[in-house]
Structure 1
Amino acid sequence: MPHDGLWGIGELAERAGVSVKTVRFYSDGGLLPEAARSAGGHRRYGPGSLERLRMIRSLRSMDLPVSVVRRVLDEEDTAGRAGGALEDAVAAQLRTLGTHLRALRWREAALRSVQECPAAERPARLRLVGAVTAPPDTGPLARFWRGWLPPRMPARSVTAFLDVAVPQPPEDPAPDQVLAFAQLYAMVSRPCDQNAGPTQPHAHRAAGARESAVLYAGLAEAYGLAATEMRQDREPCPGQALDAFVDAYTSAGTTADTPGFRRVLARQLAADPRIDRYWELTAELTGPPGGPPEPTAGAAHDWLRAALDAEAEAARS
């Protein structure tokens, strides 16, 4: 250290292991204030500059922008230590890094999906998985369901249903899961066929805000009960799950639960449009690789419909 306790820009750069250009850049930007100027106009830096420069380099090594580095240093100057600004910066950087890592894992699985399919199918597979962003956006799936649900359904009920119906892509997907999501994306993104007939279940057509809220709250309960039965490999049959399923429709329509109503409901459900492929792909996407699929809302609905049909068949026997 010179007799005046100050370093020149070259000395500081050498001790910090950086170039003079780097020191000058941070100094000109106000991150590394100079203590004085020599008689010849050269910059001079105080004893705390070395540690400050090392702090700047550490923050920049984490890819923190200069504006964030400035906030961290300002807080350290004011409070005598790095605190909330540094904590927020690290947390934000971790979130950004997590997004980048998820995108890389998704791209790797997408490329493996292309690599592992037959050579003749690779161009089509590439177009299919390449249409999906990485990490994937579930917005198109949510928009699909918003068009399917009753138009007057309360926002809270819509949100609750979307939480169940819109699958969240796995953090570390297998190639088959990337393919399933890409197929889901293609399915909900294609233009609607205006000549394909009704696109919503019969119960939706006259459902107001109250009726749709009651209906979907009841269906959620019934689906949960049916899923428990399905996990135990039980065949569709009358019971608590079916009663809850029928009750969802009777409560929404203020109709009594009678054998006649159940027969009418079975016929209406049989005529409703079906989106089995959506639920099949959802099961592939959310289930453990190589393991049994977790029951989806669609699978539970089909189980309950089959239970309703089985009950009707038993009554006719």
Structure 2
Amino acid sequence: MFTSPDGLCGIGELAERAGVSVKTVRFYSDQGLLPEASRSAGGHRRYGPEALDRLRLIRSLRALGLPVREVHRVIDEGEAGAGSVLEDAVAGQLRELGSELRALRWREAGLRLVQECPPGDRADRLRLIGAVAAPPSTAPLARFWRAWLPPRMPAGATAAFLQAAVPEPPVDPEPAQVLAFARLNAFVTRPCTGAERPQPEAHKGAGARASAVLYAGLAQAYELAGTPLRRGRAPCPGEELDSFVDAYASSYGSRDTPAFRRLLVGQLAVDPRIDHYWDLVAEVITPSGGPPEPTPGSAHDWLFTALDAQTTAAA
């Protein structure tokens, strides 16, 4: 392949044939990726015919973004005849690239948000956006709910509730969704006292096991209520409301009776609400122009309204 009598080539010829700089060849040699076949009498590096293919492979792997240590592992395994290291390295790069692309999409939407807003609003928008990482983290939202949920609630029940209550940020957000998530982050991280975040009455009477029963039942009821919410149906009695009442009755060890429903509607009427949180969640998960996606908050409102109307009519 090479023109010299000994079949070897110098660093300059190898670099020219591979289309890289001499400095690049020297770097890969020093890293142990491109072994020399020998040294000339003057101490110059000499490479064998296989060096050109190896250098082209190194260049291709580096062009895909693989770090030098991963390139080393891929080449070493290739010589051993396996092959899974390359698959793992490529999968890792794809995950990393996906995260970078997601961050870029959030940054782009944030820039558009600032660009499109009135000049008087820009300082506030910049403050809100600056407090959120790109891509954004949902950890502050999870901490907010962990502090709000009943103490000692089983881990499985807590995780199931967090999955429903903490929205996943859109992968390709619109500016309005970035703004809503930034406001949601500001809402859950603002300083507040215990009096500003009171617990619902249901938390006080239920122990850890009863709390798990309550929230599992509520999750089922909220899911059922999602269907009429999406269809725009007015609150009304039905399977959804029965499931909602049964969640409370089961956690209290009571039966679902008209008397219990009257007591329940009175209790829920005075329970603290976090409507602003759920309004922002709906904005985060709903693309512009589309109908609002149901949230546990909107489902709770629908079910409570149905219960209130039913007990009022019965009275």
Query: Considering the TM-score relative to the shorter chain, is it more than 0.5?
Result: yes
The residue number in structure 2 matching 1:109 is: 109
The residue number in structure 2 matching 1:14 is: 16
The residue number in structure 2 matching 1:130 is: 130
Within 1, Cα distance between the matches of 2:280 and 2:289? 14
Q: Which residue identity lines up with residue 47 of structure 2 in the other structure?
A: Y
> Structure 1 stretch 134-143 or stretch 226-235: which is displaced more?
226-235
Q: Which residue identity lines up with residue 182 of structure 1 in the other structure?
A: A
Task: Give the TM-score normalised by structure 2.
Answer: 0.96
Within 1, Cα distance between the matches of 2:56 and 2:307? 72
The residue number in structure 2 matching 1:36 is: 38
Identity, % of aligned pairs? 68
The residue number in structure 2 matching 1:245 is: 244
Contact 1:35 1:46 in 2 (8 A): yes
| Aligned pairs, number | 313
Task: Give the TM-score normalised by structure 1.
Answer: 0.96
Q: Which residue identity lines up with residue 6 of structure 2 in the other structure?
A: D
Contact 2:10 2:45 in 1 (8 A): yes
Deviation, structure 1 residue 52: 0.4
Contact 1:152 1:212 in 2 (8 A): no
Q: Which residue identity lines up with residue 80 of structure 2 in the other structure?
A: T
Please show how residues 276-315 of structure 1 align to structure 2 within 5 Å: 276-315=275-314
Q: Which runs of 5+ in 2 are unaligned?
A: none
The residue number in structure 2 matching 1:193 is: 193
Please show how residues 58-137 of structure 1 align to structure 2 within 5 Å: 58-79=60-81, 83-137=83-137
Within 2, Cα distance between the matches of 1:287 and 1:194? 31
How far does the alpha carbon of each residue in 1:226-250 deviate from its partner, in whole angstroms, 9 at most, with x for none?
1112122211111111111110011
Contact 2:109 2:175 in 1 (8 A): yes
Contact 2:177 2:287 in 1 (8 A): no
- Structure 1 outlier segments of 4+, above 3 Å: none
Deviation, structure 1 residue 166: 0.4
Q: Which residue identity lines up with residue 89 of structure 1 in the other structure?
A: A
SS in 2 for 1:290: coil
Q: Tell me the C-alpha RMSD between the 2 structures.
A: 1.2
> Structure 1 stretch 25-34 or stretch 58-67: which is displaced more?
58-67
Deviation, structure 1 residue 78: 1.5
Deviation, structure 1 residue 147: 1.0
Within 1, Cα distance between the matches of 2:62 and 2:224? 53
Deviation, structure 1 residue 312: 1.0
Deviation, structure 1 residue 206: 2.8
SS in 2 for 1:18: coil
Q: Which runs of 5+ in 1 are unaligned?
A: none
SS in 1 for 2:205: coil
Deviation, structure 1 residue 213: 1.1
SS in 2 for 1:205: helix
The residue number in structure 2 matching 1:165 is: 165
